[in-house]
Amino acid sequence: MGETEQAPPGVDITVPSPARIYDYILGGTANYEVDRQAAEKVRQAMPDMVDTAWANRGFLQRSVRWLAEQGVRQFIDVGAGLPTGNNTHDAVQAVAPDARILYADFDPIVEMHAKELLKDVPGTACITADFRDPDSVLEHPETRAMIDFTEPVALLLVTVTHFVSDEDDPWGLIQQYMDRLVPGSYLALSAVTSDRQMEGAVDDLKKVFAKSSSGGAYPRSRAEIASFFTGLDIVPPYKGAPAEVCYFGEWGAEDPVAADSEGSRWGYCAVARKPA
């Protein structure tokens, strides 16, 4: 797509969108010149951005497959982004064809593309809703029709919280979501970190996203990301590992050493269970 093409109604192509930037990084086509320019600025700050994006994508795919293997049959993927190869429902329904997956994103273009992709896929739906407003996600009619909140749910927050400022309290928001899910539910979360990165690179990254529809980016420390899981039981990310957050590529990896790339070290992730 290019900016000479007409944007769908309700889609602003004068401001870069995190969902469309991510789509471009992963090789998708649902992006515009403003997004490609922003992505190239991200590349200057983060030369390993493609490796980072695919390491994060790998975490999503491995974690939801693992969750399906544990018997989870309901998934709410908040900040889902634009559909690309091997989406959440592809990975989940390969294990559990009866599983239900609700996608949510605050960018309306995501729902537009997802509805076309999902029209013949049973057990899936997509809504436009903002993570920062839990009711917009959890009380949406599509959500209430699809998700049985008396049964365990996997809440997926994959590269979402680093677009939420401290003032908007992502920790408190996550608590609100998890409070409304029954014991045995899970949180799968990944987030970009400021650890080990050059201060200038982090500042440049923040500048790019300050001009995007997200309004900013907030990479956080390992301790800050780990605190998203307060009150939950973190699952060991691979055999023999301690039950704690790890780098993107390590989670579920058969060879964690080989998976520990420079791109992978741009973020931490974990899967955690809500105890009884």
CA distances from residue 47 to 55, 149, 193, 194, 203 in whole angstroms, order as listed: 14, 42, 15, 15, 14
Tell me what pLDDT residue 210 has.
87
Q: What is the CATH number of the domain that holds 25?
A: 3.40.50.150
User: Residues 162, 191: contact at Cβ < 8 Å?
Assistant: yes
Q: Is residue 7 part of a domain?
A: no
Q: Pick from 19, 48, 56: which is nearest to 189 by CA?
A: 56
Q: Is residue 4 part of a domain?
A: no
Q: Residue 100 is part of which domain span?
A: 18-273
**90-146 pLDDT per residue, tens:** 999 999 999 999 999 998 888 888 888 888 899 999 999 999 999 999 999 999 999
Q: Is residue 6 part of a domain?
A: no
Q: Is residue 235 part of a domain?
A: yes
163, amino acid identity = F
Q: Which residues of the chain have pLDDT under 70?
A: 1-6, 85, 198
Q: Is residue 265 part of a domain?
A: yes
Q: Is residue 8 part of a domain?
A: no
Tell me what pLDDT residue 4 has.
55
Pairing of strands 186-192, 154-158: parallel
A 10 A CB-CB count for 254 gives: 9
Domain count, the chain: 1
pTM above 0.85, yes or no: yes
Please give the radius of gyration of the chain, using alpha carbons only, rounded to the nearest integer. Answer: 18
